[in-house]
Structure 1
Amino acid sequence: MPLLTVIGAGPGLGLEIARVFGHAGFTVALLSRHQEKLDGLAALLADEGIQAKGFAADIARPETLTAALQAVKDEQGPIDVLEFSPADVSLAPASVLEVTPENLQPQIDFYLGGALRAAGAVLPDMIARGSGTILVTTGGGSITPNAAYANIGIAAAGLRNWTLNLHDALQPQGVYVAHIAISALINAGHPDAAADVIAKSYLDLYVKRDRAELHYVAHTA
């Protein structure tokens, strides 16, 4: 069975991405900071017949991310799809007139640095076998700037830029990379912003492999 690995797994979009891929025949590895939470999510998926396991990792501690991804490969085999959508609410947003090097760098380290490390752990294997998928998620501010969240947007825009370049560089080698920007308040009331609806777009990207980017737009009810 192919293996999906979700970095930033939680009870919202991460769980629904795992669910939609799991029902499509994937085994699932879930990564986030808290093992107890991961075990609960894995149990929910197991109740639906999806083979899933959690691996604790903290992007703010890079060695734990590298170790967790190695454990996934050692225990479950090669990673076919890597989905990257972590969040850290402890990183405070700063408006455009409040951005400083001090409040910007942690955002860059977390989002862009985390993605670089995650991709670095799986890309050599994907390139060697000529197949694999990396799906990188950001908020819509990576495309449409929001002055109230300027430091987050700068980091997200950098992550988007890198992801799109990676798509172009790896496409000839059989590895598919795509960026998903979500301009929606997930599970806030609008049916198009429901996590289970958004998650279907990820499987659609994986299957079709026909674009470098999806800007998912929905509005609250």
Structure 2
Amino acid sequence: MRRLLVVAALLLTGACGAPAPEPEPPPSTPVVTSTPPPRIVGTPMPVELTGPQPDILDYDEIEAAEPGAPEGAPLRERIIKKIRQETLSMASVAGTITASCRGGSVPSDCTTTYNGVAVHWSVVESLLSTSLATEYELWPDKELLTSKIIYHNVYVYLHQTPDDAVRCQEVPDVVLVEKPREYSTESIDTGIRCQFLGVARDGQRIWTEMRLFMDNSGMTWARAG
């Protein structure tokens, strides 16, 4: 029994004499450096655009709303149907349209209205006419635009990343703007302005102004200045 006690005592003594393990150091705290937000340069315009505009009509919807004249219809009817369709195409938003023409079976000029705003049309013989068939071209004296198609067009054009911001001046619901003469290659400034806030560069984001021009292909945008 004494031997067993001695062994037990030796074991106990050995256990008490072992060095305690070193405590683990606390985990280091990473140093976080905050980047200041970029400085905004410029004054934002009043109308904020948050996405494509609703109610914009595509080609099929325009044709369904304002179908062309049936085959073999008199020229006057074909012209009236065509300028109604073209007026809706310019507006790109459903509205109340009227059309009338002066003259006999071959009108000399016509007028359409969209929500009460009038557009005058010239009816001229086409250069493509032949001795077998006479063709006519229809030219509006102004381009009719709605605020919705302007806002839609510029948003789709300028909003390239989720952080981009697009704003515009206030545009009336329906506007008439100058357009180039037929077959001209010039662009005409409409006076309508929008802007975008692009990616940060050198610690700042700049409101960049864009000008709306009209050419014979439609709306185009260019940086101001």
Larger Rg: 2
Which TM class, normalised by the smaller chain length?
under 0.3
